[in-house]
Amino acid sequence: MSRAKSEGSGAGAGRRSSARRRPRPEQGAPDAGGRARGALRVREAMSEREPGSVTLFIAEKPSVARDLVRTLAQTGKKLVSRTGFFEGEGEVVTWAIGHLLELFEPEDYRPEWKRWRLEALPIFPPEFRLRPIPRTKAQLDVVLELLRSPAVGEVVNACDAGREGELIFRHLLEAAGRTGLPVRRLWVSAMTDQAIREGLENLADGRDFEALEAAARCRSESDWLVGINATRGMTVKCGTLLSVGRVQTPTLAILAEREREVRAFIPKTYWEVEATFTAPSGTYLGTWFGPEAPDGRLSDPDRAGEIAGRVAGREGTVEEVESRRSSHLPPLLHDLTQLQREMNRRYGLSASRTLHLAQDLYERYKVITYPRTDSRFLTGRNIPLLVPTLAALAAAPGPLAAAAAPLVEAGKLPLSGRIVNDKRVRDHHAIIPTPNARGASGLKGDHLRVYEAVARRFVAVFYPPAVIESTTVVTRTAGEAFRSRGRLIVSPGWLAVDESGRPGGDEEEQALPALEKGTPVRAEQVLPVEKATKPPPRYTEASLLQAMDTAGQLVDDEELQEAMKDKGLGTPATRAAIIERLIEVGYVERERRTLQPTAKGLELVASIPTRDLVSPALTGLWESRLRAVEAGGLSRREFMADIREFVGRLVRDIAALDAGGLKEKMRRVVGPCPRCGSDVVEGRQAYACSTGKENCGFYLWKTVAGRRLRPGEAEAILSGKRTGLLRGFRSRTGRPFAAYLELGEDGSARFVFPERKPRAASARGRTAGSGRP
């Protein structure tokens, strides 16, 4: 048994965790010591060049810059690696590392805005300004030095093709003071050499993307205004730190509303009579129904027992057989949200994990197209690549080869508006595999799962509809009627390739024997079964992503989902981060595969006075207005004027809020203090005794050996129990390990290692983040 190391200082804390050490520089960026060297190298490289003789490419990340350099080399343009950029004869390629600049904090505009005071709200900067992000300042210096060089005659925006990539690039131009430079845009949806080469041959005029830039600035600045003013206002008013956001708060409201429904639900007991019938062709199940209970649910258990007793062992006949065949079209291709939902539903992967894997498959392995898309359709420009992509899948080793081969042999694909529809594609088409199918041969684990989901759906959309026969049978025995339902796949069609979109529910999966009207049967086993109504299910990430996509309305029909997309919460690229943010600030917890709001999250949603801020539908309208800015139908000035009016009203409502007792309601008690018996409550960084550090001083750090300690785990420790085996800890050397946690005799939490690791049995006096701060 060993005491575990805490993240932070305090009695028994030992050395500081490796998480507190100086972080390593971002990959591809010069370190602080190389900053001057990088800028100097830029000046040396550009000083003797003719003014306007260089085309500067700016990629969003180093890996994309390397792909650009490789593709340029294939056209005879050789570039040499320097510190922070690649240098060629007429071309220079450099990169950002995501955002290199961020918006000013309030105190950067005015020192008096540093203090959080209601009287200072609303905070409206006269104009939004930018500051460097410290950890990537070195690379920023290189990019700005290049942009300011007189040798640069034009610049190619090679950042990610979307709203955020446009903003990253425009911020850099603004910081360099070179907004007048001619700009061309590289817009690609795959990172294969062929796709990049075609993009370079068809560079767009940067002026065509000014509306996209305007929408990106509106999104960034409106989030700042709402977040800063609402967070400060609610924090000051309630006396506890509260994070409030334009999109995260209505997302939290969706979860809070469902949680209230679950808690208010009162289950009702009912009884069903279930029978097993034997016919000459086989057995099948049936459920009683009658005039007194058309749905088969009886409130009287005696009545259910009476029916069961009268029917058991009796002969009967099939009274009615009704069959109906239906044709089910293949599901649409994947966009990011649908891919995240499928991976969560099938494998329990979080939205952020799926996004990371998909981005890896796009950038590193180059086996799928751009993943951060909101479209489930292709464009006419994609048609020439469809057969080559299918041919690559047919030739590659793997289970999809046999499914793709018949489509290639047929020559002509069955294209329709459900597959190719230019009007339904804005920035990027649906996620599909690239022709680089052999690049997927080495994929394993979750990478392979995500790739196969994309590839299977791509093949499936070209297959014929699935034909399913649904049958309802009514059996009459001893004067009582029983209903049976069954489904039979007559023609699998696309289901032979991709079963993830299988229509129908499990309750109708019974395979019925051959029955017809008048078939004699016998009731072999008849039982009254006690059941209870169930509350609405808590959200999983899969169902929450759907609710965000449709502004809180759960819609199953794919066409209706598509129609509501413009009014969803956030974008496919931001939703994963929103969910993680809600968990990070303590408003939501993951419980197995469900998401549950905490007391703090529930009280926040209930207390916000401006209900527009917690309304998913109204917040969805803001997103539709951003789309209008992006399409050029609404000016940036109009959008921001509406946001300022909204923020002003929000601040007035917060100022008038009666917040008495809210801080106490938001406290989460996780158990009794082992030292003094008072409540231990959840704080930002620790679970601490409510008497304060100046009195008892007991605490459990919320981060232990690099792993977040969940409230339920803290409750187990404080109740004197041992937690289950917890994974995800990291040693001082960075090695992962698993252990149990329990409360030691001295009131501190201690690691208990599994018995199969005997070396872990020696006690070395390290606490698991508890003690006196």
Q: Tell me which H or E stretch contains 200.
A: helix 193-201
User: How would you classify the pairing of strands 707-708 and 669-672?
Assistant: unpaired
Give yes or no for a contact between 340 and 355, defined as CB atoms under 8 angstroms apart.
yes
At residue 673, what are phi and psi to the nearest 5 degrees? -70, 130
Distance CA 158, CA 610 (A): 41
Q: What does the angle CA 397 – CA 399 – CA 400 come to, to the nearest 5 degrees?
A: 90
Q: How far apart are CA 356 and CA 533, in angstroms?
A: 39
How many Å from the N-terminal Cα to the C-terminal Cα in the chain?
A: 24
The position carrying tokens 């600030």 is 585
The CA-CA-CA angle for residues 767, 771, 773, to 5°, reads 120
Indicate which residue of 284, 362, 370, 539 is catalytic: 370
Half-sphere exposure of 26 (CA within 13 A, CB side): 20
Burial classification of residue 151, based on how many CB atoms lie within 10 Å of its CB (0-12 exposed, 13-18 middle, 19 or more buried): middle
- Strands (DSSP E) along 15-100, which ranges? 54-59, 79-81, 85-88, 91-95
Helices assigned H by DSSP within 599-661: 599-607, 616-630, 636-655
Angle between helices 572-584 and 541-549 (to 10 degrees): 130
Closest C-alpha to 420, from 384, 465, 467, 369: 384
Which tokens is 604 given?
Answer: 């926040």
Q: List Cβ neighbours of 592 (8 Å cut-off, separation of 6 or more).
A: none
| Residue 477: how many other CB atoms lie within 10 Å | 24
Q: How many CB atoms lie within 10 A of CB 734?
A: 8
State residue 19 phi and psi, 5-degree precision: -65, -20
Cα within 13 Å of Cα(698), Cβ side: 23
Secondary structure element (H or E) that encloses residue 572, with its range: helix 572-584
How many helices (H) and strands (E) the chain has is answered by 22, 28
**Secondary structure letter of residue 348 according to DSSP:** -
What is the distance between the alpha carbons of residues 46 and 39, in angstroms, rounded to a whole number? 11
Cα–Cα distance between 141 and 100 in angstroms, integer? 10
Distance (Å, rounded) from C-alpha 567 to C-alpha 624?
Answer: 5
376: its two tokens: 């489930």
Has 370 been annotated as catalytic?
Answer: yes
> Annotated catalytic sites, by residue?
370
